[in-house]
Structure 1
Amino acid sequence: MTQTAIALFLFLLPLAYSPGPGNLFFAANGARFGLWATLPASLGYHVATWLVTAAIGFGALRTLDAAPGVFALLKFAGALYVFWIAVGLLRAGRQDTGEAAQPAKFRDGVMLLLLNPKAYVIIALMFTQFLGVSGPDRSVLVLGITTFFTLNNLVAFTVWTIMGAQLGAIFARAGSARAMNVWFGLMLGAVAVWMLLA
């Protein structure tokens, strides 16, 4: 399993740590509200990640083969959801105006994962590359890969959240919280377009 874990980490490294909907979502929330306030959303995202990954590892995607329109629907809904988050950031006022802005909640993290069809594709690809056994050992391997994948994502998103929080502190000192909101809003808007067109 150690060799599999190393190979899996190298496979996931560019996928988990490069900018994407999840990373930018958590960076933006970290910048706006700090690390600790993002924990409920992170918990929601990673509980959903573990459950969806395990389900795919045990063959859940086979049931969707007869309904290819489901992925197109998920793609559209996911892009709309990320765009909605981007609009919220673009409309947000300065951090020091006392507006009742709220950090993302557990359900937001769950929805972010569930409405991201690219996550399903990455998970399915991961299992085709690293799940080569059959029999009782297969179940253990599915659960091991699922847990490793989830923990790796947790580390990546925490790193992005911390970077966002640091950036937020810099913008707050410079009195440019509005500019930070606009910057993250535009970045997430671009990610929504990318999700829709890719």
Structure 2
Amino acid sequence: MSFFIIWLGVMFPLVFSPGPANIVFAASGASVGVKRSIPLIAGIDSVFILKSIIIGFGLGGFVKSYPEVMSSLQMLGSIYLVYVAVKYMRVNSAKEKSMTTELGFFDGLLIQVLNSKGWLMVFLMFSLFTEPSQDAFGDKGVYILIAWLALLNISIHFVWVSIGDVLSRVSDDPLYEKGLNYFYACCLLAVSVWLIIENPMVENYLDISI
């Protein structure tokens, strides 16, 4: 139990923080509600579980050996988030809303595959907790970490979708609805710009230019 509390103390802030996926969850909850956001959650968390398996069983070293792969994923992910943000900004009516802003399973897969924060978070968890988990649980330690992270992710992702859903119910005013969409879009754009600026490829290019 003490090991779980320590693990939760480290991982909860990382999972709950307003990263790209969580902002998309809130926007999806506001647009289509909790039930219709389940395919998006399934897509994102399927990739999260796959990342945990890859890194937890040692294949993460291969990914870590090629930082340019992570940089490329981060750049592609940033561009895709800009695309999603533009979709939310273009919402003007209920009909258009249902057609353009319902993100599904494939969108979830794409968002999480290209989410560099997700990769780094899983790397961090296993670098900190692989040895303690094996001391506590033996050979089952890695499996338990994967299960814990999956349960924490799914729970928190439903919380973010629910937050978006609750905010959307505050008012039926079209201006409020449009403002909410612009808020989510601006958050996504801000995250995208930050990821692009922090991308090693961009930093190296700026250093060479200077």
Task: Compute the TM-score of the two structures, normalised by the length of structure 2.
Answer: 0.85
User: Match of 1:172, SS?
Assistant: coil
Contact 2:78 2:192 in 1 (8 A): yes
Higher RCO (Cα < 8 Å, 6 or more apart): 1
Q: How many residues align?
A: 196
User: Match of 1:49, SS?
Assistant: helix
Percent identity among equivalent residues?
27
Partner of 2:126: 127
Paired with 1:167 and 1:94, the residues of 2 have a C-alpha distance of 18
Partner of 1:77: 76
Partner of 1:196: 196
Structure 1 segment 40-189 matched on structure 2, within 5 A: 40-95=39-94, 100-132=99-131, 139-173=139-173, 176-189=176-189
Structure 1 gap ranges (5+): none
| Segment of structure 1 superposing worse, 64-73 or 85-94 | 64-73
| Segment of structure 1 superposing worse, 77-86 or 165-174 | 165-174
Task: Compute the TM-score of the two structures, normalised by the length of structure 1.
Answer: 0.90
Displacement of 1:144: 0.8
Contact 2:31 2:101 in 1 (8 A): no
Displacement of 1:138: 5.6
Contact 2:74 2:196 in 1 (8 A): yes
Write out per-residue CA displacement over residues 67-100 of structure 1, whole angstroms, 9 at most, x where no aligned residue: 2210110110111111111111111223366762
User: Match of 2:100, SS?
Assistant: coil
Structure 2 gap ranges (5+): 199-210
Partner of 1:38: 37
Amino acid in the other structure paired with 2:79: L
Displacement of 1:127: 0.6
